[in-house]
């Protein structure tokens, strides 16, 4: 991970800074990758078996003790104050071919023969006690998803976009919203300046007056369902409800350039919300082997494309991710019968 220089047009006053918190040694990373490589179950065809085999690895003590100890500290983390975590040099698949631009997911199924990154994501989720979930309308329910461009969705506001994705949180309008997003950097060219940018909810809220906050806490806004959920999904979700931008203590429900006001006052304040996000953002370049945790209910993020010098390699930029929850029980009624991970929607 590298942190980009501050945008000269911004005026962030927060003292929060995203910096790497844990780095695997080369020996630790290689040994853990080798152990994960012994798992035989394909995580896309035999997800439950893959998760079971990863659990056996954890029981067998393959996880470096200092990493296990670090993960335990995350349970007490103040997510309001520190909603983004970066780790370096995690195990990932080193030799993976470029996928087809028209059908990258299908191409992945055909070409990807090792599942080290997927195994690390599964292992981390088990150590942290944060179950991963899949959605019926996203990649037919795959738990392991790709931030990877697709020709037919390259102009969308989804993880399959080629260019920028505006500030948002994952599945903010869905009836099962993730508590975490976990990402492993797989392939990126530093000549293409593509950043993942983050803003804390609490910093956004602190930027508005009490009168403005009252408006933002009222249900005078509308955001359509995200593109990935509705484009090609098998379950019709209908129309999204009107909602407040700020809910609870510091919940921010906003998708830049998609959330709109439904009253004159609400329409007038939307541009200030977007401007505030850009004034407070921090840019991170996710390198191969970087592991990024986003606490989805305490921050918003964006993909920013500043300059492209290698257009072909922009089409193969790749991050593998999972979305996770703290507890499955509150979502049990939304799970497909017979599964403990697949959301019916």
3-state helix, strand, coil in the chain (%, to 5): 30, 20, 50
Known binding positions: 168
Q: How many CB atoms lie within 10 A of CB 104?
A: 22
First to last CA, the chain: 33
User: Which residues pair with residue 197 across a beta bridge?
Assistant: 283, 302
Which residues neighbour 282 within 8 Å (Cβ) at sequence distance 6 or greater?
Answer: 3, 12, 16, 17, 18, 197, 198, 199
Distances (CA, A) of 62 to 40, 128, 180, 334: 16, 16, 24, 34
d(CA 199, CA 183): 17
d(CA 221, CA 319): 31
Q: How many CB atoms lie within 10 A of CB 326?
A: 15
- Are 265 and 274 in contact by the 8 Å Cβ rule? The answer is no
User: Which residues pair with residue 185 across a beta bridge?
Assistant: 319
- Are 254 and 226 in contact by the 8 Å Cβ rule? The answer is no
DSSP alpha helices (H): ranges in 206-333? 210-216, 227-230, 264-280, 311-314
Cβ-count burial 29-60 (b if 16+ within 10 Å, e if not): bebbbebbeebebebbeebeebbebbeebeee
d(CA 56, CA 280): 43
Which residues neighbour 274 within 8 Å (Cβ) at sequence distance 6 or greater?
Answer: 167, 256, 257
Which position has the token pair 């983390």? 77
Which position has the token pair 């100890």? 69
Known binding positions for Fe cation: 168
């Amino acid at each position: 991970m590298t942190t980009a220089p501050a945008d000269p047009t911004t005026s962030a006053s927060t003292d929060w800074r995203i910096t790497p918190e844990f780095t695997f040694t080369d020996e630790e990373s290689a040994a853990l990758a080798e152990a994960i490589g012994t798992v035989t179950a394909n995580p896309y065809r035999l997800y439950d078996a893959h998760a079971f085999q990863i659990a056996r690895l954890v029981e067998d003590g393959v996880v470096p003790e200092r990493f296990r100890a670090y993960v335990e500290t995350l349970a007490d983390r103040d997510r309001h104050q520190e909603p983004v975590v970066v780790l370096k040099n995690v195990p990932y698949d080193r030799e993976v071919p470029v996928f087809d631009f028209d059908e990258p997911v299908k191409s992945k199924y055909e070409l990807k023969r090792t599942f080290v990154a997927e195994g690390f994501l599964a292992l981390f989720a088990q150590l942290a006690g944060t179950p991963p979930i899949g959605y019926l309308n996203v990649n037919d329910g795959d738990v392991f998803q790709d931030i990877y461009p697709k020709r037919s969705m390259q102009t969308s506001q989804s993880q399959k976009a080629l260019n920028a994705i505006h500030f948002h949180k994952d599945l903010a309008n869905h009836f099962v919203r993730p508590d975490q997003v976990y990402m492993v950097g797989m392939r990126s060219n530093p000549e293409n300046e593509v950043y993942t940018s983050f803003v804390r909810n609490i910093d956004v809220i602190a930027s508005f007056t009490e009168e403005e906050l009252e408006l933002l806490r009222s249900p005078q806004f509308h955001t359509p369902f995200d593109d990935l959920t509705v484009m090609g999904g098998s379950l019709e979700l209908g129309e999204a409800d009107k909602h407040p931008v700020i809910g609870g203590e510091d919940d921010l429900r906003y998708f830049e350039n998609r959330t709109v006001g439904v009253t004159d006052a609400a329409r007038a304040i939307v541009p200030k919300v977007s401007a505030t996000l850009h004034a407070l953002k921090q840019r991170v370049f996710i390198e191969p082997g970087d592991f990024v945790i986003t606490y989805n209910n305490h921050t918003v993020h964006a993909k920013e494309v500043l300059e492209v010098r290698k257009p072909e390699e922009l089409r193969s930029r790749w991050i593998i991710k999972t979305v996770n929850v703290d507890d499955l029980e509150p979502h049990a009624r939304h799970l497909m019968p017979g599964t403990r991970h697949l959301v019916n929607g």
